[in-house]
A and B are shown apart, each in its own frame.
Chain A
Amino acid sequence: MKTTAAARAPGTDLSSAGTDGRALARRRLVLWLAPPMLWFTAFMLVPYAIMFFYSLGSMDYVDFVPGFSPANYVKALTAEPYPDVLLKSTVNGLLTALLSSVVAFPLAMWMAFGLASPRRRALVSILVVLPWWASYLVKVYAWKTILGAEGVLNTALMAIGLVDEPLSVLLYNRFAVVLTLTYIFTPFAVLSIYAQLERIPRSLVEAARNLGATDGEIFRRIILPISVPGVLAGAVITFSLGFGDFVTPSLVGGPDDLMITNLVVNLLGVSMDRPLGSAIGVVVIAFSVLLLMAANAAERRTQVRF
């Protein structure tokens, strides 16, 4: 009797499903997973699939003709101005990510190491986040006010006699676009780098000092390597936001500074070329997926455990 019972697989002698712990766990999983899965399928995956479908078709004057042709992708990647703009957006994204990381680092360092009390750290964190709560559009416009020919900066420069006539290189060009994007997204970089630096135990710095390291060496050989995942996490966000922005270029950029998202909006709104717009959209989605995967891999490789 005992041996036959033992030979049976577990679960077979349990009648009611309500007392089966594994079934219970499965039911719980379905309960949590089903709603978000259905939602994301309906309102993300299906729209992306539709976008993909459009990208393979073509336009006959104002009517969409379904098809199965890579022509739009070829156009998106080879016909000017698209590859050029795609490259320019990427460079702008990279510059935004790089500059905001550089600008953010000293502030994050100071928060993590220079502020001893948690109260002060919380206070400075709030001060970092607060500007980000002001209207994005108005902040971008504020840079226009600052950088313009009769703007705050030029007026100040002329008042102290540093320049004789207003500098026109400040506004309506790439410099203004990248500066503004960097400004807008720096808080993300600060918080992300700070979150990583905060994890570094103080004893690490003390041990390094005890071993004879100078402050510079501590920074280069301890703080900087450990900070990499935080810098990367911040850079991925700032890059994406900079890459995909369409407001800043149209407010403070020149006519040549339009980015890829401006083109997509124009293709859909003005030119009514939905297939080409969709193809660029799919290219950007693919690009983003790759970026996310690369960021994940890099994070895993560079993250340290304490």
Chain B
Amino acid sequence: MALELVDLVKAFPGADAAHPAVDRVSLTIERGSFVSLIGSSGCGKTTTLRMIAGLEFPDRGRILHEGRDVTLVPTSERGMRMMFQDYALFPHMTVGENVAFGLRLRRQRGRHTAGEIDRLVDEQLERVHLPGLRGRKPAELSGGQRQRVALARALITDPEVLLFDEPLGALDAGLRRAMQFELKRLHAELGKTFVYVTHDQHEALAMSDRIAVMHAGRVLQYATPEDIYFTPRTRYVARFVGSANLLDGVLVDADRRVGRVRLPNGSVIEGSAPEDAPAGTRVAAVIRADRIEIRPAGSTDAVRGTVQERLFLGTHDEFLVRLDGLDADVSVHRPTGTGGAISVGDPVGLAWQPENVRVLSE
């Protein structure tokens, strides 16, 4: 177990004490795994990461690193390196001096000769694909290059844990993709524990071994990307991760984790549920847009609607369908070039497999 967070609570002075920034967060992070904390801004993910780093200290709860209590250990003593959102490069030092910073501190005195440090700096710059830039100042680098320098600086002291605070937030889409592959490769190559904070669910899904979805200071679900995506435990998780349709209704019955939901228009939808709630509970049926089949309306269709909008999105078309007798729109994704022609205003039929429906009460 690389890291264990036990019941962490952190409220900032002056803020509402009843709603702390981080509220009883417990997580176990396996050694060598890639864990992402995701959620919208203000959900407590960054504060949690900063407590792991030792930049903030919790009001309650504990942080264990390899079984050792590090809750109040200052960040300089933790051996966990953080990548900051703004990179936090030292503007008055060259790239080489920035990368070497961790090795030239007093605690490292006598461990490395000047030649060794030079070699290590070159090695790290090589690793992040920036050879030959060591003489530049951070101001002379592009955003992507700065990001790599920050990475090299964090890696040079060979930390066991690397912490990332939305490191790709300031990069453009293409660079982001490239860096995602890069970080994934580095993770596989180094075998270190990565804890990654982002508000971008695609990024988290693509890179992580496990994802913790946070909301209002609490962890709503901590699971593999597949589980988070296909079997969300709460409506918030379903909505936040991927494009899911939420149809509100009332539970007719539930048995062995299969629930049936009656929508206001009388139609009944069946799906899997995380637990068996009593009949009559207000629930939502959750169906992902890419799991819905759309076709021109026919007499056999159980669910029907009318196309409101059609958006061409390259790999797929997105249809916004108003369901008959319901005050709700459903978004449907259909791979481009499949099925018959459907235009705005057309009556359509929708169909899905029950295993692609989640019935969620929370």
Contact = CB atoms under 8 A, between A and B. Distances in A.
Q: Do chains A and B directly touch (beta carbons under 8 Å) in the complex? A: yes
Contacts of A6: 6-7, 61-62
Interface stretch (A18-26, A75-83, A154-162, A202-210): A18-26
B69 interface: yes
A10 interface: yes
A20 to B, nearest CB: 5
B58 interface: yes
B323 to A, nearest CB: 42
Interface string A1-20: 00001101111011000011
Given A5-B69, A10-B58, A10-B61, A21 B6 contact: no
Interface stretch (B70-78, B94-102, B346-354): B70-78
Contacts of B69: 5, 13-14
A5 B75 CA distance: 22
B74 A10 contact: no
Contact of A10 (B54, B57, B75, B77): B57
Interface in A202-241: none
A10 B62 contact: yes
Contacts of A21: 54, 57, 72-75
Nearest to A21: B74
B302 to A, nearest CB: 51
Interface residues of B, number: 15
Interface in B34-77: 54, 57-58, 60-62, 69, 71-75, 77
B71 A19 contact: no
Contact of B62 (A5, A19, A20, A22): A5
Interface string A249-283: 00000000000000000000000000000000000
B6 A11 contact: no
Contact of A14 (B58, B60, B72): B72
Given A6-B6, A6-B7, A11-B72, A19 B77 contact: yes
Nearest to B69: A13
Interface residues of A, number: 13
A10 B75 CA distance: 16
A22 B55 CA distance: 10
Contacts of B73: 14, 19-21
A9 B72 CA distance: 11
A20 B72 contact: yes
Interface in B186-203: none
Nearest to A23: B72
A292 to B, nearest CB: 23
A9 B60 contact: yes
Nearest to B58: A10
Contacts of B62: 5-6, 8, 10
A13 B67 CA distance: 13
Given A9-B60, A10-B61, A10-B62, A19 B6 contact: no
Nearest to A2: B6
A132 B107 CA distance: 49
Contacts of A13: 69
Nearest to A19: B73
B60 A22 contact: no
A10 B7 contact: no
B77 A22 contact: no
B50 to A, nearest CB: 12
B82 to A, nearest CB: 14
A153 B69 CA distance: 80
A200 to B, nearest CB: 24
Contacts of B6: 6
A6 to B, nearest CB: 5
Nearest to A20: B72
A11 B61 CA distance: 10
Nearest to B61: A10
A135 B62 CA distance: 63
A194 B73 CA distance: 46
Contacts of B72: 10-11, 14, 19-22
A21 B56 CA distance: 9
B74 to A, nearest CB: 4
Given A5-B62, A10-B58, A21-B73, 15 more contacts: A6-B61, A6-B62, A9-B60, A10-B57, A10-B72, A11-B71, A13-B69, A14-B71, A19-B73, A19-B77, A20-B73, A21-B54, A21-B57, A21-B72, A21-B74
29 contacts: A5-B62, A6-B62, A9-B60, A10-B57, A10-B58, A10-B61, A10-B62, A10-B71, A10-B72, A11-B71, A11-B72, A14-B69, A14-B71, A14-B72, A14-B73, A19-B72, A19-B73, A19-B74, A19-B77, A20-B72, A20-B73, A20-B74, A21-B54, A21-B73, A21-B74, A21-B75, A22-B57, A22-B72, A24-B74
Q: Which 5 A-B pairs have the closest CB atoms?
A: A21-B74, A10-B71, A20-B72, A6-B6, A11-B72
